[in-house]
Structure 1
């Protein structure tokens, strides 16, 4: 698969201060400012996750964290999925999901993957094989659903 972005996969310990700052800034720009969610983003899960970061010309364009089984769900998960406003419409979200799923399967094998998805993105996640596996719930004032991608 050809990639538009340069991908880095790092444990929390491998992240530099500048890389971690960039990740937290992007997450805050989108989740807190753009989506107006008042929540504690630093949830003490980052330290146990693998961080997938896609860069274009040194600028962070897309990010997700790969969450080990047992931390958020019984299955491994992909969370904090985000694309910079500067990269929207460029296919970075599709690339982000593809590389995150591939890395997760490299780490854990062909296993079920569970995510908590914003409801308006249901079709997007369905295009990757995810199916709704829970009722709609409100999180930070935004409708979400649990979705599972079977192995």
Structure 2
């Protein structure tokens, strides 16, 4: 099964609801993030949402977009608790690499996931920081071209 990818300006109302539902479950409920999730990027044409879904809704999700500095960012990577351990997030990261891996990619990893992202070729590229009350590290993966 391949992941679904949809541009932000092509999301249906049901898609938006499903995206925000899985992000709310993981980030707000489980991780108790202390900042709003909705940041004005989700519905932009240059934002792409990727996910796997099952009968219970989106099971794993991420978002990618090109930032104002011209570098593609990956974020909001999450998997529903009951769908963890199946490698879904890794498959989403790999699918992003398949689509955009010729270019440099960056992300802000939750600090405890630094080694997991390192397994995909990401290295720390700055000082640790706190976002939404959670320790993060900036990471980059050079392009393959």
TM-score normalised to structure 1 length: 0.86
Q: Distance in 1 between matches of 2:99 and 2:79?
A: 18
Corresponding residue for residue 86 of structure 2:
90
> Using the alignment, how far apart are the partners of 1:69 and 1:43 within structure 2?
13
Please give the root-mean-square deviation of Cα atoms over the aligned residues, in Å. 1.5
Cα distance in 1 for residues equivalent to 2:71 and 2:87 = 27
Counterpart contact for 1:133–1:147, Cα < 8 Å: yes
Contact 2:105 2:140 in 1 (8 A): yes
Instruction: Provide runs of 4+ in structure 1 moved above 3 Å.
Output: none
1:101: how far off?
A: 2.1
Cα distance in 2 for residues equivalent to 1:87 and 1:66: 21
**What is the aligned partner in structure 1 of residue 100 from structure 2?**
104
Please give the alpha-carbon distance, in whole angstroms, between the structure 2 residues aligned to 1:140 and 1:15. 26
- Distance in 2, Cα, partners of 1:80 & 1:27: 7
Q: 1:75 and 1:119 mapped to 2: Cα distance?
A: 21
Mark the runs of 5 or more structure 2 residues left unpaired by the alignment.
none
> Secondary structure of 1:37's partner?
coil
Instruction: Give, in angstroms, the shift of residue 59 of structure 1.
Output: 2.6
